[in-house]
């Protein structure tokens, strides 16, 4: 798997940056464009490199202050047909499919952890679906709420923030969770409060046994599922296998629990 880097640096740093890129294991092709950058003024270096070698090269470029004095652009070509690229991948340690680029993970989780209107809309809709699933004893609606809920983004961002010491990212994720869930629960409670006088569901709906009791009866397996789902979620994020995330979403019962709390408070089921 080949990654393309475009490095823009001041003229006084171009020689050492060029040598660093040329000598780095996994570099397949290298191009140098002196004076190609107008704003900021400087030289441009483009290279194709095996994905598993990118993180180590970025660490070297950070030592040279490349991103502080210029910029680094990382792109993923769909297809690279080159014998040199094949040789570069063979010489690089590890496997491209398992290679981790921390800046990529931070950007992805950072985007998913912002408190935006779309995030709030998805969280509100998911909590409403969960509340409906609870009062109608519909596991399908509960599963739908799990799939729609956007809370995994901020949770993943918190994990990255702790692992990398990026407290700004962690604070943003905590705000998204801390502000989003009260709003979603309040609206779900309002909907439940309006629904009781209309006779949409009986006031003793929570007193009956149902298929959704697993939401408020956590046990040892709940902890095991949470740990496994979290591990699978982070693995899918760092390996860019988004198809696995839907299974993670359906394993996380955060949104159904929020919907249950909203309904229970309205019905006076404080226990």
- Is 271 among the domain residues? no
Given 79, 99, 119, the domain boundary residue is 99
Give me the domain span that covers residue 39.
Answer: 2-99
Pair (109, 20) in one structural domain? no
Q: Give the pLDDT confidence score for residue 9 in this predicted structure.
A: 94
- What pTM value is reported for the model? 0.77
Closest CA to 127 of 73, 181, 193: 181
Total number of domains constituting the chain: 2
Chain centroid to CA 98: 17
Closest CA to 148 of 178, 127, 131: 127
Pair (128, 91) in one structural domain? no
Pair (24, 137) in one structural domain? no
Q: Give the pLDDT confidence score for residue 60 in this predicted structure.
A: 93
Residue 73: φ, ψ to 5°: -110, 130
Q: CATH number of the domain at 63, please.
A: 3.30.70.120
Q: Are 180 and 123 in contact (CB under 8 A)?
A: yes
Q: Are 213 and 153 in contact (CB under 8 A)?
A: no
Pair (88, 127) in one structural domain? no
Given 99, 116, 132, the domain boundary residue is 99
- Is 239 among the domain residues? yes
Mapping DSSP to helix (H, G, I), strand (E, B) and coil, where does residue 177 land? Answer: helix
Pair (152, 232) in one structural domain? yes
Pair (90, 193) in one structural domain? no
Given 56, 73, 99, the domain boundary residue is 99
Per-residue pLDDT band for 146 (boundaries 50, 70, 90) equals confident
Token pair, residue 46, equals: 């483009």
Per-residue pLDDT band for 241 (boundaries 50, 70, 90) equals low
Token pair, residue 165, equals: 């010491």
Identify the bridge partners of residue 74 per DSSP, sorted by sequence position: 5
Q: Give the pLDDT confidence score for residue 213 in this predicted structure.
A: 65
Pair (135, 244) in one structural domain? yes
Pair (16, 46) in one structural domain? yes
Q: Give the pLDDT confidence score for residue 79 in this predicted structure.
A: 87
């Amino acid at each position: 798997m080949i990654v393309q880097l475009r490095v823009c640096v001041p003229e006084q740093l171009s020689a050492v940056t060029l040598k660093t890129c040329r000598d780095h294991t996994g570099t397949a092709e290298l191009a140098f464009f002196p004076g190609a950058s107008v704003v900021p003024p400087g030289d441009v270096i483009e290279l194709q490199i095996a994905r598993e070698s990118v993180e180590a090269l970025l660490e070297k470029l950070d030592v040279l202050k490349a991103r502080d004095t210029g910029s680094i652009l990382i792109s993923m070509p769909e297809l690279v047909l080159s014998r040199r690229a094949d040789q570069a991948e063979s010489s690089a340690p590890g496997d491209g499919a398992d290679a981790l680029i921390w800046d990529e993970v931070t950007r992805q989780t950072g985007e998913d952890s912002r408190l935006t209107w779309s995030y709030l809309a998805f969280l509100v809709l998911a909590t409403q679906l969960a509340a409906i699933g609870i009062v109608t004893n519909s596991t399908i609606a509960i599963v739908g709420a799990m799939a729609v809920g956007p809370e995994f983004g901020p949770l993943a961002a918190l994990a990255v923030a702790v692992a990398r010491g990026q407290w700004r990212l962690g604070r943003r994720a905590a705000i998204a969770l801390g502000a989003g869930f009260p709003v979603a629960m309040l609206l779900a409670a309002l909907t439940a409060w309006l629904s009781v006088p209309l006779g949409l569901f009986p006031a003793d709906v929570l007193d009956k046994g149902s298929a959704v009791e697993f939401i408020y009866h956590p046990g040892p397996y709940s902890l095991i599922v949470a740990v496994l789902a979290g591990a699978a979620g982070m693995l899918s994020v760092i390996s860019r296998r988004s198809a696995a995330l839907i299974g993670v979403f359906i394993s996380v019962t955060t949104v159904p629990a929020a919907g249950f709390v909203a309904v229970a408070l309205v019905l006076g089921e404080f226990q």
